[in-house]
Amino acid sequence: MNQSVAFLGLGAMGAPMAGNLLEAGFELQVWNRTASRCAPLVAQGARAFDQIAQTIGQTDCVVSMLADDRATAEVMLAPNGVIAQAQPRTLVIDCSTNSPSMAREVAAAARARNIFYLDAPVSGSIGQARARELVFMVGGESDHVQAAEPLFRAMGRLTRHMGPSGAGATIKLINNMLSGTMNAALAEACAVALAAGLDPQAAIDVLGEGAAASRLTRTKLPKMFAGEFEPQFQLRLMDKDLQYFLTLAQQLDQPVALASLVRSQMQAACLAGLGGRDVSAVFAHIRPGVYR
Ligand code: NAP
């Protein structure tokens, strides 16, 4: 296979996803706002460019993995961005976690130029990205989802078409409201277990077998007990996702009392300087002094 793909956004998630496309045999062009982040992929065989227009010039498929709505607007909607510069019939697969309204805005701009846009955020973190175990939740037209299938298969283990543009972004925010709430609950569990003098490993073992056990219990509880918050998923990204979730709930006029509370905690942790740490560092915010 030698289909050419342009990949935009080589952060913690984008870099391993792009690496998997290379390994699967795609010809890869890469661009990242901070150009130095392209170097490891160039060493593996990708071609790097300074401009988005050059990066997407020869491809009929673009994958992006960017921080948020703002980054997506700059990369997709600017005059020198993807939608203005891509050839008609280019397939654009945006894996960033964005708001549904941003996904629909980009999809509408794309449709006006006969460009095929999918909102395709992922669940799974860096480990799942490396191991091709991501789950893609996709909004857009089913023909385009089908056309994107070889790329999804090269980067993940499951793809689910959720509905029209914005549906992928919507379920992703719901997913992250749940995982953000679970992170905040784990932080409180950890604080009380420590205050009660429980043995951390015994608590991890037992909670990992209880009814609330999950991948988060297994991965985040040990980080909290150890006070080790090397970022897998930055706390500021979770804060952003909860902010988008609250906006969505407000637009839909749905009460979301828990999510409001959890977002306040994440936001306060960001304001306290923990935004660049892992989301599990919300523990350091509710139990100050354990980590700085
Ligand atoms: P990250 O390491 O911070 O990477 C963010 C990427 O966005 C970088 O390539 C960054 O470029 C780029 N970017 C930021 N602002 C930009 C702008 N204004 N213009 C152009 N590019 C910009 O974050 P990540 O962990 O890879 O997350 C990427 C996306 O995946 C986010 O939407 C996140 O919510 C989502 N996600 C993350 C995880 C996870 O576990 N990490 C899991 C699922 C989904 P620079 O290198 O120049 O800063």
Report the percentage of the chain scoring pLDDT > 90. Answer: 97
Q: Is 223 a known active-site residue?
A: no
- Tens digits of per-residue pLDDT, 47-66? 999 999 999 997 999 999 99
Alpha-helix runs per DSSP H in 113-141: 126-130
Looking at the CA of residue 34, tell me the nearest atom of ligand 1: 47
Cα–Cα distance for residue pair 84/109, rounded to 1 Å: 9
Residue 207 CA to ligand 1 centre (angstroms): 31
Residue 209 CA to ligand 1 centre (angstroms): 33
Regarding the beta carbon of 65 and ligand 1, being less than 6 Å apart is answered yes
Closest to 93 measured CA to CA, from 195, 165, 32: 165
- Tens digits of per-residue pLDDT, 166-202? 999 999 999 999 999 999 999 999 999 999 999 999 9
- Tens digits of per-residue pLDDT, 15-39? 999 999 999 999 999 999 999 999 9
Cα–Cα distance for residue pair 123/165, rounded to 1 Å: 18
Residue 292 confidence (pLDDT): 45
225 in Cβ contact with 204 (< 8 Å): yes
Residue 75 CA to ligand 1 centre (angstroms): 12
Catalytic one of 172, 220, 223, 240: 172
Regarding the beta carbon of 67 and ligand 1, being less than 6 Å apart is answered yes
Residue 270 CA to ligand 1 centre (angstroms): 17
Please compute the mean of the pLDDT values over residues 100-114 and round it to a whole number: 98
**pTM of whole model > 0.75?**
yes
Is residue 11 helix, strand or coil? Answer: coil
* Residue 289 binned pLDDT confidence (cut-offs 50, 70, 90): confident
Pocket probe mutation, ligand 1, options 10, 119, 237, max atoms within 8 Å of Cβ:
237
